[in-house]
A and B are shown apart, each in its own frame.
Chain A
Amino acid sequence: MAKKKSKKTQFTLKPWCWYCEREFEDEKVLLQHQKAKHFKCRHCPRKLNTAGGLMVHCQQVHKTEPDKLENTLPGRDGYDVEIFGMEGVPAKDKDEWKAKKEAEFGVNLNQQQNPNKRPKIYHGVISENDLKLALEQHKMLMSGGKLGSLPGMPMGGLPGMPPPSMIPAGPPMFMPPPGMAPPFPPFPGAPMPPFPGAGMPGNLPFPPPPGFRPPFPPMGMPGMPSPIGVPPFGPPGGMMGSPASAIAAPSALGSVVTVMPAQNGVIWPDADASPAEKRAQQPQYRHSSPALSSAPLPFPDQGHQPPAFAQTSGIPSASGAAPSASNLQDKYATTPIPEAPTGVPGPHSTLTSLDGSGVQPGETVKVENDVTASLKRKAEDDIPVA
């Protein structure tokens, strides 16, 4: 019984007859109905499958022009529309019908006000702002609910915001009011990593106190099938003791980098990052050696140079600049070729020509983007299987 009830609430379009707008459980029944009610010949017991079929039958067998179709709604008794079951129904009528049904269904829903309806759980990626706000709320809660103490946070919370103790319905509730500055500065030291959950090495950004249920599943990775229970990645067969996987074990469960699910069969549909890049963001692959302990995360990079090369100068200018917003916008901007290292006495005959290379210092080199017509790709021809 319970199953039937839930079915009721599920919205499905049943097949229906275009001629008389009657609904049927099954397309088969609909076909039978159309045959019996609309495509019956008046001159003989014959039943045809379509309006066109009936017309041809009348013309050829009875040598008469067929009458209008029977039992139809006004205006739908012509032969110009070829209907077979649900096929051939004009798109306009289809849409109308759908809208009508949805409206009906919506009304039903409102009337029912199903009390057992589960609260909506947001499964998308939660934006940074939302995360910050959630953290803020959490802090507020932890500090004993001193609501007024937070700068930029109106007393009593945002309009439409549930009391912080309530398990919330989703991020839209945490949308900051327009014009409000982010209530707290980003994590110290580094620009925020592009992926939530990445770039927070080791410890978790929101340590949940015992007994407290965080506003929403932490680590910003909703929508990802929970990796808990999946063994942390490691080589098969008793080699779990390797340094990489040993590091992986404690931290990997906490923050993992999601990948896009397959699309249209393409296993890696993500155009923005390669599997290796995503993998390199995994906590277990971030190196921190004693020598480079103060080094920032390997990815995203921050223009760090290893000590062996630190004292040298003349490394291209890009190395000095931390990735800033403007830098990112200048993605396609040209960069001057760095000057050749001077003072290198050179038997390097080719190298000098290398450096010279027809480009003067300061002149810009740009990777052009011209696809010459002759190089345009040919129509793809599959290699025949030999």
Chain B
Amino acid sequence: MNVLNSAPKPNDVPLEPGPTDSVTRIEFNPVVDYLAVGSWDNQVRVYEVNATTGQITPKAAVQHEGPALNLSWSKDGTKLLTCSADKTAKILDVATGSSQATQIAAHDGPISCVKWLDMPSGQGQGVCVTAGWDKMVKYWDMRQPNPIATITATERIYALDAVDKLMVFGTADRNVSIVDLNNPGVVKSSKESPLKMQTRTITCFPAKSPAGNGYAIGSVEGRVAIQYAEDKDSGQNFSFRCHRGEPVTVNQMNRTTETAVYSVNDISFNRLHGTFSTAGSDGSLSFWDKDLRTRLKTFVPKDLNNAGDTVNKIPPTPIVATAFSKESNLFAYAFSYDWSRGYTGAVQQNLNKVMIHQVQQEEIKPKQKGK
């Protein structure tokens, strides 16, 4: 499977057969090395990735009637939740090998987010949350046609994530709301995003003593903020710039320069070290350590064989989604056009691949202090 042997580094393997349109979201199963890939071609595909041989086997697929915008695995790894612009969310039982996904949720608009919640429910099947562009957050126990609780947000919901009892969602008006899942029907606190521009992605990170849990938020303006959920930790909040181009002189006369500022499309934390990755529309990837506030590793587009088309001035393909596997030994990232340049940017030179990267420990291991 090492098709990219000729390429110097890294030795990443593409998923075959990949999705036929842009990728929206990818996530590794928390129990086995299954990777789920959602796509604008209305499908969510599940692949088995063998970490030692690199063998990739297609396993299952969920068909929606609109673009599959998001997905989430259950905690025990047996169920896959998917949601779509067709205003539905579905569940697929991967363990039974069933090929039929059942609808579990409905919204009045495209559903942009779905997440399995770590909440006990009466009969053990679990609870999930969906959120969409209809400004609603709805909780479902996946057997009843009615939501068990809802929250009306101020605006369309662009990003949502949860860890433990913390759920965070970001809306189109740049608000970020925090929900305590002990009391899921109400928003515990809501504030303006620490970033000045549109929220693109939110990923929660677990508590790491002595600090509590929190979330990382990425905006369309090449910036990431690390925010802790509790007030006592707020002194450690910070934000940083990333995924920006080199300054380019735009006016020779007064020597003004302009830096291309790209969207931060996805943030993924690994469970092994608690470090995280960011991926941007500039087609680059970075690994970071939030505790020491250092960058561990960067893959510029050239490193990823994603230099774009210099002849026709096609920029490198954005990276739209990332995921760490359960043991953090595999890292998946998806090249896809993200519509940031509109229709005209949708050209055939754009890559449309999900790549599997064998993680080297030094890429994600925090550097020792004082070194």
List the interface of chain A (C-beta within 8 A of B): 224-225, 227, 230-236, 239, 242-245, 252, 256-259, 262, 264-280, 282, 285-287, 289, 292, 298-306, 308-309, 312, 314-316, 318-319, 331-332, 334-335, 337-338, 340-341, 344, 346-351, 354-355, 357-359, 365-372, 374-375, 377-378, 380-386
Contact = CB atoms under 8 A, between A and B. Distances in A.
Main DSSP-derived SS at the B contact region: loop
Give the interface SS of chain A, mostly helix, strand, loop or mixed. Answer: loop
Contacts of B175: 367, 369
Contacts of B343: 224, 227, 230, 233, 252, 256-259, 282
Contacts of A236: 348-352
Interface string B135-157: 01001010011111111111110
A318 B295 CA distance: 45
Given A259-B342, A278-B342, A377-B239, A367 B187 contact: yes
Interface stretch (B73-81, B256-264, B323-331): B256-264
A354 B134 CA distance: 22
Given A233-B343, A256-B343, A279-B339, A372 B144 contact: no
A378 B263 CA distance: 22
A354 B190 contact: no
Contact of B221 (A227, A266, A279): A266
B258 A331 contact: no
B21 interface: yes
A382 B241 contact: yes
Interface in B20-49: 20-21, 24, 40-42
Interface in B120-178: 120-123, 127, 133-134, 136, 139, 141, 144-156, 158, 172, 174-175, 177
B231 A375 contact: yes
A383 B296 CA distance: 11
A286 B110 CA distance: 11
Contacts of A287: 42, 64-66, 85-86
15 contacts: A232-B346, A277-B133, A287-B66, A289-B65, A292-B86, A300-B109, A332-B154, A334-B152, A348-B123, A367-B151, A375-B227, A378-B238, A380-B240, A381-B240, A383-B288
Contacts of B151: 337, 365, 367
Query: A-B pairs with the 5 shortest C-beta distances?
Result: A233-B346, A259-B342, A357-B185, A348-B122, A242-B20
A312 B158 contact: no
Interface residues of B, number: 109
A365 B186 contact: yes
Contacts of B192: 369, 371
A276 B23 CA distance: 11
A365 B87 contact: no
A371 B191 contact: yes
B121 A350 contact: yes
A286 B344 CA distance: 19
Contacts of A381: 238, 240, 293
A341 B146 contact: yes
Contacts of B223: 380
Contacts of B240: 380-383
Contact of A259 (B136, B244, B339): B339
A293 to B, nearest CB: 11
A309 B106 contact: yes
